[in-house]
């Protein structure tokens, strides 16, 4: 039975239906609010606003739960591969062996990037940030791979191309930024091993694939694969609602992810930890993070939805310990991170504000151990988030009730003002 919320406004009373999700979370359906009452809602930053219904990812920020298509992320991190998790997110179910094999073949067949795109790469200034390059190049893919006539085939091909080529493009930007020869993808390697080989193989030092590193990368990407209506995903849905190509929508998602308050935080965390290690400035950093007059924030801490530990962070931290041990690496930044976490967790400011480490707090240390340079960290996040963006985009395009996303506003500027000719001003 539908529940209603009663709204009294002026002399009238309205009934707004309550929508209930499959995990019991509730929302007031305000889709007829303006037509019935003349009112709109105001929710800066959308902290109380659901932009859609979705059956892809469930998260509970109070309990620290994250599930993709109902499966706990902990189980996927332990048993699945990034490729299989991508299939799950995009197609809504785990693949059979045959489906997974077909998926692998498709990804292998589409892993090369058009040779002419290399000219583009070569012309970016060497100092360009790889996220800017990736966002531009993903949008440019449309020009190199024009639209197919059959809509279903077009969507499937675009999805496959993006998933496969993003690795090649990311590794290519790294190689070119170093002035090194580009390494081509290999059909005999798995999704993650292929990426690592394209990043690190060189004519003078062949890359030796280490299964512990491959496993770590699989887990890293699984943990980033989707996170419901976060900033970049909302960008993908919003831009996609104008019926742009999937390439353009993903390009917008990459641009949004780049921001330091979102995916760019993983780079910012390492920069912050390095700063603490170099200048012994732990106390100063904590002081600045708590100072209301200082815009500085403790990077890798806090989350819009999680008001407890981010479940991804727990897995990431465990993996960080295991990987460093297996590779016999001592990273002084890990000690700094653990000390900072302990201090923050005992500090009233952070506990009162429900600020706990998020996924980005330890992810940079994992990436450093794998050999990924700091300015590629957010690119690594983008590769991981791609299946989530695609799944969310597909869901939005298939929604029979989907509309152009177009929020409203409350105007607070001047009322009608006459134009004054320039000589009279």
- Give the catalytic positions in this structure: 303, 360
Task: Please say which residue, 116 or 348, places its beta carbon nearer to ligand ACO.
Answer: 348
Name the one range near ligand ACO by CB under 6 A: 3-11, 246-254, 292-300, 403-411: 292-300
Closest CA to 169 of 78, 293, 52, 254: 254
Q: Which residue, 185 or 311, has its beta carbon nearer to ligand ACO?
A: 311
Residue showing tokens 């993996």: 319
How many residues does this entry show for the chain? 425
Rule CB under 6 A: choose which of 66, 289, 372, 376 binds ligand ACO.
289
Judged by beta carbon, residue 247 or residue 350, the one nearer ligand ACO is: 350
Nearer to ligand ACO, 240 or 302 (CB): 302
Binding ligand ACO (rule: CB under 6 A), the pick from 57, 194, 267, 358 is: 358
Q: Number of helices (H) and strands (E), helices first, in the chain?
A: 18, 6
Sign of the CA dihedral with 315 first, then 357, 378, and 156 last: positive
Q: Rule CB under 6 A: is residue 388 a binding residue for ligand ACO?
A: no
**Interaction between residue 54 and ligand ACO (CB under 6 A):** no
The residue (of 133 and 355) whose beta carbon lies closer to ligand ACO is 355
Does the protein bind ligand ACO through residue 355 (CB under 6 A)?
yes
Q: What share of the chain is helix, strand, coil (3-state, %, to 5)?
A: 55, 5, 40
Residue-wise DSSP of 369-417: HHT--GGGHHHHHHHHHHHHHHHHHHHHHH-TT-----------S--S-
CB of 29 to ligand ACO, least distance (A): 24
CB of 334 to ligand ACO, least distance (A): 18
CA distance 163 to 157: 10
Q: State yes or no: residue 359 binds ligand ACO (CB under 6 A).
A: yes
Residues binding ligand ACO: what is the number (CB under 6 A)? 18
Instruction: Verify binding: residue 261, ligand ACO, rule CB under 6 A.
Output: yes
Would you count residue 265 as binding ligand ACO (CB under 6 A)? yes
Q: Which residue is nearest to ligand ACO (CB)?
A: 302
Selected from 58, 68, 195, 301, the binder of ligand ACO by CB under 6 A is 301
Chain centroid offset of residue 98 CA: 29
- Residue keyed to tokens 């590769």: 383
Q: Which of 162, 273, 299, 337 binds ligand ACO (CB under 6 A)?
A: 299
Say whether residue 312 binds ligand ACO (CB under 6 A): no
Given 240, 253, 302, 388, the residue binding ligand ACO (CB under 6 A): 302
Report residue 139 CA to chain centroid gap. 17
**Distance between CA 146 and CA 41 in Å, rounded?**
41
Interface with ligand ACO, residue 298, by CB under 6 A: yes
> Which one among 76, 360, 367, 389 touches ligand ACO, defined by CB under 6 A?
360
The nearer residue to ligand ACO, 114 or 297, going by C-beta atoms, is: 297
Q: Which of residues 238 and 256 has its CB atom nearest to ligand ACO in the complex? A: 256
Q: Which of 67, 69, 161, 303 binds ligand ACO (CB under 6 A)?
A: 303
Strands 57-60 and 26-28: unpaired
Strands (E), 61-162: 65-68, 71-72
225 binds ligand ACO (CB under 6 A): no
DSSP state of 357: B
Among 142, 304, 307, 314, binds ligand ACO (CB under 6 A): 304
Query: Which contiguous run of DSSP H or E holds residue 348?
Result: helix 348-352
235, burial (CB in 10 Å: exposed 0-12, middle 13-18, buried 19+): buried
Q: How many CB atoms are closer than 10 A to CB 130?
A: 24
Map tokens 């993070």 to a residue. Answer: 289
236 binds ligand ACO (CB under 6 A): no
Point out which residues bind ligand ACO (CB under 6 A): 261-263, 265, 289, 297-304, 353, 355, 358-360
């Amino acid at each position: 039975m539908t529940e209603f919320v009663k709204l009294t406004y002026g002399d009238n009373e309205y009934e707004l239906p309550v929508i209930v999700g499959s995990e019991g979370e509730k929302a007031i359906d305000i889709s007829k609010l303006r037509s019935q009452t003349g009112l709109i809602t105001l929710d800066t930053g959308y902290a109380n606003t659901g932009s859609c219904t979705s059956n892809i990812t469930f998260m509970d920020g109070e309990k620290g739960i994250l599930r993709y298509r109902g499966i706990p992320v902990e189980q996927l991190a332990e048993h699945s591969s990034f490729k299989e998790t991508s299939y799950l997110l995009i197609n809504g179910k785990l693949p059979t062996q045959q489906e997974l094999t077909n998926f692998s073949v498709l990804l292998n067949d589409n892993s090369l990037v058009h040779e002419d795109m290399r000219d583009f790469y070569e012309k970016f200034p060497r100092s360009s940030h790889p996220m800017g390059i990736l966002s531009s190049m993903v949008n440019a893919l449309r020009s190199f791979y024009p639209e197919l006539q059959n809509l279903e085939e077009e969507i499937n091909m675009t999805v496959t191309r993006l998933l496969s080529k993003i690795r090649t493009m990311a590794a290519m930007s790294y190689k070119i930024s170093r002035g090194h020869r580009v390494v081509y993808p290999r059909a005999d390697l798995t999704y993650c091993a292929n990426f690592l080989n394209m990043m690190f193989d060189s004519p003078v030092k062949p890359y030796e694939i280490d299964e512990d590193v491959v496993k770590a990368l699989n887990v890293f990407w699984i943990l980033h694969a989707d996170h419901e209506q976060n900033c970049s995903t909302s960008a993908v849905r919003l831009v996609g609602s104008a019926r742009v190509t999937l390439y353009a929508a993903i390009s917008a998602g990459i641009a949004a992810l780049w921001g330091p308050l979102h995916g760019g935080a993983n780079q910012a965390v390492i920069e912050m930890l390095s700063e603490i290690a170099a200048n012994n400035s732990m106390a100063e950093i904590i002081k600045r993070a708590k100072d209301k007059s200082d815009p500085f924030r403790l990077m890798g801490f806090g989350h819009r939805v999680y008001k407890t530990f981010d479940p991804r962070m727990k897995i990431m931290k465990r993996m960080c310990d295991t990987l460093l041990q297996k590779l016999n690496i001592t990273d002084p930044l890990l000690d700094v991170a653990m000390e900072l976490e302990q201090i923050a967790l005992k500090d009233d400011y952070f506990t009162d504000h429900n600020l706990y480490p998020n996924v980005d707090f330890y992810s940079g240390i994992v990436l450093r151990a794998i050999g990924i340079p700091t300015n590629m960290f957010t690119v690594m996040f983008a590769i991981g988030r791609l299946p989530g963006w695609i799944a969310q985009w597909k869901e939005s395009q298939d929604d029979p009730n989907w509309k152009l996303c177009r929020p409203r506003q409350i105007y607070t500027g001047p009322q009608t003002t006459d134009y004054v000719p320039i000589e009279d001003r």
